[in-house]
Chain A
Amino acid sequence: MESVKPILEFKNTCVSYTKQTMAVKYVSAAIERNTITSIMGPSGCGKSTLLRSVNLMHNLYSNIRVDGEILLNGENILDMEPIDVRRRVGMVFQRPVPFPTMSIADNVMAGYLLNNIHISKSEKAKTVEQCLRSVAMWDEVKDVLNKKGTFLSGGQQQRLCIARALAMKPDVLLMDEPTSALDPIATNHIEQLLLELQKEVTILIVTHNMGQAERISSHAMFMYLGELVEYGDTKKLFSQPADERTKAYLKGKIG
């Protein structure tokens, strides 16, 4: 057992959409700071559901129940204000969603605008540049910062969304299949980016692409029917899976 305190810890986390069934069942796992953890598993196994529990997205819908504990730096998220949690836990969605009426610069600063956090002009310009640089986009868009973000390509839009999440300086970044709507080149771009970003932020990424999980993540989870079947070192999980179900999934037999 390592001595570093985990940044994020699931303790018997359960999520249910309906009274009868649980979409996520008693998941327990500790996630180390500044790592990339990929969540894999067949469609419908509860990956998105687990991910969305971390930034309290489920609170938006009154029918969804979340039980157990999710600790962020030792504090139970489920007892915290959603607004505080979401400022510390960023999220990137499957399809890029730039805010259509905002300029590229405003999109990056959207977290500040929406929360009425006032900062000076120079501070703003600095944050925009820094965030766009960290998603390797500054040179591409530095001359069109005041244009709408919707004119960008899909890959650029997704990077803009990552920059938007990074601008809030989150501790944890949640990503739900962030590259599934992108072509291989844009995907490669984003993978390189994530490897860079893990110095600053802890990343939890849902992916259907095993190659991607192998390339970027140090830790991997395998979920099946709402359960966390296996969690550990990515290389080990791929080379010597402990569970039969993981083995079958990796061989392409389930999923």
Chain B
Amino acid sequence: MNIKTRIAKDRIQLWTVCFFAALTAVPLLAIIGEVVIKGFGQISWSFLTEPTPTAYKAMKAVQAGEPIPGGIANGIVGTLIMVGMAAIVAIPVGILCGAFLAENSKKRSAVIISFLTDLLQGTPSIIIGIITYIWVVVPMKGYSAIAGSGALFIMMLPLIIRSTEETLKILPTSLQEAGLALGANRASVMLRIQLPAAFGGIFKGVLLSISRVTGETAPLLFTALGCSFIRWSINKPISAVPLLIWEFFNDPHLQDLIWGASFFLLLFVLTLNLTAKYIAKKWNQ
């Protein structure tokens, strides 16, 4: 093959790669662009600190030619409460399960847990919502933040288990052996050497799982239901940012609020994702 055809071939390859890269980048940038352009202007102090207005108030404002009053604070508070409660339980349970799987991959109990984890990870979120409805909402005789965080907990668990397990498994076995060779027991080596060494990967997994469930809507429809004012109690229906987006979409008077809420959610999730990447990189240096 002579040099000219080789250069031509290289060119073609380069352009093909660029073309497909653009093909994936365009819709991505279009989505983010649209949300940012439409949502950025709506974000203000009152939007973040005031609850959703009633449809009547919103209608009046629109008729008077004023911007819609109020915001999404009820959703932000609900999201923080539910995601926070879910994380507090899912982080220790998930890390323990992940450590157990990494240590005992051949035991029958580990094979079963591993299978269940896969199953849970593959379960559509709407089904998790229905199951939580039957298990929590029905016996408690009402929608609540507890039920909502229960559904989110179930969704977070497999993500944390897997990321913990995988991070622990790529540590060199010599690290564990060196700890055990000093006369330590397995639990102590896991707690003081392996888990700290795996911290970067585990923390990344936790942040990604949080960002994943923060945007979940379906399981909350069956469990948290929604609430139009800021509420701090955990045994009553509660709102969440993705639930608000769904409500705004369904209410013609509130539709203008969709973009602000979407922008907030996107920003929150994106920040978590980027932080996770950054921390994992820092820790591994």
Contacts and interface: CB of A to CB of B under 8 A. Distances in A.
Interface of A: 55, 57, 60, 83-87, 90-91, 93, 95, 97, 99-102, 110-111, 113-116, 161, 164-165, 168
A186 B174 CA distance: 21
23 contacts: A55-B181, A57-B181, A83-B185, A84-B183, A86-B180, A86-B183, A90-B182, A93-B177, A97-B172, A97-B174, A97-B175, A99-B178, A99-B193, A100-B197, A101-B197, A101-B199, A102-B193, A111-B183, A114-B192, A115-B182, A115-B183, A161-B178, A165-B181
Interface string B160-175: 0000000000001011
Contacts of B183: 83-87, 111, 114-115, 168
A233 B244 CA distance: 83
B189 A114 contact: yes
B111 interface: no
B181 A99 contact: no
Nearest to B199: A101
B270 interface: no
Interface of B: 172, 174-175, 177-185, 188-189, 192-193, 196-197, 199
B154 to A, nearest CB: 31
Q: Give the top 4 A-B pairs by smallest Cβ distance, nearest first.
A: A114-B184, A87-B183, A101-B196, A86-B183
Contacts of B178: 91, 93, 97, 99, 161
A83 B189 CA distance: 13
A116 B182 contact: no
Given A111-B184, A113-B192, 17 more contacts: A55-B181, A60-B180, A86-B180, A90-B181, A93-B178, A99-B175, A99-B179, A100-B196, A102-B193, A110-B179, A114-B183, A114-B193, A115-B183, A161-B178, A164-B182, A165-B182, A168-B183
B182 A86 contact: yes
A102 B193 CA distance: 8
A100 B197 CA distance: 6
A83 B177 CA distance: 13
Contacts of A115: 182-184, 188
Contacts of A55: 181
Contacts of B197: 99-101
Q: Of residues B181, B184, B193, which shows the largest number of chain A Cβ atoms within 10 Å of its Cβ?
A: B181
A22 B166 CA distance: 33
B186 to A, nearest CB: 9
Contacts of A102: 193
A10 B6 CA distance: 67
Given A100-B197, A101-B196, A101-B197, A93 B182 contact: no
A114 B182 contact: yes
A70 B162 CA distance: 41
B182 A111 contact: yes
A95 B182 CA distance: 16
A37 to B, nearest CB: 19
Given A101-B196, A101-B199, A113-B192, A87 B174 contact: no
A48 to B, nearest CB: 12
Contacts of A164: 182
B285 to A, nearest CB: 10
A74 B270 CA distance: 64
B188 A116 contact: yes
Contacts of A168: 182-183
B155 to A, nearest CB: 30
A95 B174 contact: yes
A161 to B, nearest CB: 7
Contacts of A113: 192
A102 B189 CA distance: 13
B176 to A, nearest CB: 9
Contacts of B196: 100-101
Nearest to B178: A97
Contacts of B199: 101
Contact of A57 (B175, B177, B188, B192): B177
Nearest to B197: A100
Contacts of A84: 183
A114 B188 contact: yes
B50 to A, nearest CB: 45
A49 B196 CA distance: 30
B182 A87 contact: yes
Contacts of B180: 57, 60, 86
B189 A86 contact: no
Contacts of A91: 178, 181
Contacts of B182: 86-87, 90, 110-111, 114-115, 164-165, 168
